[in-house]
Chain A
Amino acid sequence: MNILEFTILVAAGSFLAGLLGSLTGLGGGVVLVPLLTLFFKVDIRYAIGASLVSVIATSSGAAAAYVKEGFSNIRIGMFLEIATTVGALVGAFLAAFISTKALAMIFGVMLLYSAYLSRKPRPRAQRNLPPDPLGTRLRMNGSFPSEEGGMRQYNVQRVPLGFSLMFGAGALSGLLGIGSGAVKVLAMDQAMKIPFKVSTTTSNFMIGVTAAASAGVYLNRGYVDPGLAMPVMLGVLAGSLLGARILIKAETKSLRIVFSVVIAVLGLQMLYKGLTGGI
């Protein structure tokens, strides 16, 4: 296979990953690294470097649309980014000392967990919680346009727990080159009781900043290869932009099921390859 053929195939695969990732809301980053390592036989460190770059592109591209809707809370996002960026640095530094086999296995476990999370029903959100002293001191409480019309107020709870979970989300992102949006949403929606819509849009805005914190380390370390990152970044970006455009019309429920099965299968394969040393 020459470089031109390789580039076209990787771009096509990345386009598909970006499209499915944005249609299902599960993110393209999670399938990108398995796609590159299992099918294109790319070294996992190059794959993670290219994936990180594409995560920044899709997050920034999508955030441009979200921030104008008035759902995301810039204070919550900025405060929690202290945890995610420091976590991302730690994760990126750790990645240098962990063997590629161990990386593949951690990735496999993460994929299986994401597949499980995406199938698990979300517990009903509690509304009208009393203000939490720390959340109030940090001026995180806010309001957003609700479906019933008008503005709905919310009070942020359990800030230390959310902050710790965000550190973990950042470390995972730096270690595996993913956006770890699922963990970020979990921290805000479940731990801090922030409304789901606010959680998802704020998470999206945080993903790019988190990924940039580890991308710098990967770049300086020589893990970002321009020949590989070029088709991955352009492909994922194009795919996710198209996905966001057709999302309104598409029926995504069955697609979500299919995609979570794909994620689980890729997770098992990554685990197997890591165990048998095929990576």
Chain B
Amino acid sequence: MAQTSENRGWTDQKLENVVGNLLRAGVSLSALVVAIGGVVYLARHGREPANYRVFRGEPSDFKSVSGIVREALEFHGRGIIQFGLLLLIATPVFRVALSIWGFAAEKDRMYMIFTGIVLIVLLYSLLGSGSAF
């Protein structure tokens, strides 16, 4: 028992190093994209009056994954920001997906299933929850 838990600790540690780097890269990349989008947005719209008091909801192009990608490709400031935010939201999702691979390498079927459930919930939220309203 002591033997197996030691082995597990070592593999977990290796996996966590990979995970740590992935998180850092995801956050840095998304912050960079958001900042670029922010510059474009402020250069074009910075002098317009700000109004967040009234809730309108976002136009449909900023709500779906495909709409956001289309807006970003057209180099609209807000579209680029939203794409950066999408990268940010996707970072923990990748992290969970990577953990499944890690548990598979350890042949830990129970935790592959647990992690799979978490991944399905996350993917549903990101891709499927739009149609629920």
A63→B81 contact, CB < 8 A: no
- Answer yes or no: A214 CB below 8 A from chain B CBs: yes
A75 to B43, CA, bound (A): 46
Q: How far is the CB of A198 from chain B (nearest CB, A)?
A: 13
Distance, CA A138 to CA B88, complexed state (A)? 31
Secondary structure class of chain A's binding surface, majority of residues: helix
Please state if B114 and A79 are interface contacts (CB–CB under 8 Å): yes
Number of interface residues of B (CB under 8 A): 73
Q: How far is the CA of A217 from the CA of B131 in the complex (A)?
A: 10
CA A65 to CA B110, docked complex, whole Å? 28
A74 contacts B12, C-beta separation under 8 Å: yes
Q: Tell me, yes or no, whether B69 is within 8 Å of chain A by CB.
A: no
- Decide yes or no: A78 and B111 within 8 Å by CB, A64-B24, A230-B38 being known contacts: yes
When A3-B48, A74-B12 are in contact, do A53 and B88 touch as well, CB less than 8 Å?
yes
**Contact residues of B: prevailing secondary structure:** helix
Q: Does A216 contact B (CB under 8 A)?
A: yes
CB B86 to nearest CB in A, in angstroms, measures 7
How many residue pairs link A and B with beta carbons under 8 A? The number is 219
A67 to B23, CA, bound (A): 10
CB A45 to nearest CB in B, in angstroms, measures 6
| A45: B residues at CB distance < 8 A | 55
Q: B: which residues have CB within 8 A of A?
A: 5, 8-9, 12-13, 15-17, 19-21, 23-24, 26-27, 30-31, 34-35, 37-38, 41-42, 45-50, 52-55, 57-60, 62-64, 77-79, 81-82, 85-86, 88-93, 95-96, 99, 108, 110-111, 114-115, 117-118, 121-122, 124-127, 129-130, 132-133
Given contacts A57-B27, A57-B31, 10 further A-B contacts (CB under 8 A): A53-B85, A59-B92, A68-B17, A75-B111, A79-B114, A143-B9, A216-B125, A226-B79, A226-B85, A229-B81
Residues on A facing B (Cβ under 8 Å): 1-7, 40-43, 45-46, 53, 56-57, 59-61, 63-68, 70, 72, 74-75, 78-79, 81-82, 85-86, 88-89, 92-93, 96, 138-139, 142-143, 208-209, 211-217, 219-231, 233-234, 237
